Amino acid sequence: MILNIIEKYYNKRTISVCSLLKETGYFETYNIINESDFFIEIKKNPKYIDQWLTWSESKRTKNGYYFQKNDKGKYIVGFLNSKENLIICSFSNIEKACAKFVKLEIEEIRKNSIIYLAHSRKK
């Protein structure tokens, strides 16, 4: 299951989130898994929301997606880079916001893994 990779990461800390994501088979099925799939699972298992919020808050990067609650009670999914903070979506529904963030975040992890592999093969 994809949604529990953050829980596994925090419990083990001996394997990267990228490796955990690969183990789920997501790299082979990324094009058929969408936000709706995550939304359904998050509705069934709301514990994942706090895990992904914690992951977003704990990231130590200048570039990347984030998921947070703003001071108006909305849930924001955005992208932060060294030049600007782009708000992608604002939701009243935390499950929808989390599903959006998860899909964007794991796609970023998958794409960065492919780029890293391409660069390392050139050396």
How many Å apart are CA 43 and CA 92, to the nearest integer?
A: 15
Per-residue pLDDT band for 98 (boundaries 50, 70, 90) equals very high
**Mean pLDDT of the residues in the chain:** 91
For the chain, the domains span 5-122
Span 7-24, pLDDT tens digits: 999 998 889 999 999 999
Q: Tell me what pLDDT residue 122 has.
A: 55
Q: Residue 62 has what pLDDT?
A: 80
Give the 3-state secondary structure of residue 93.
coil
DSSP 25: T
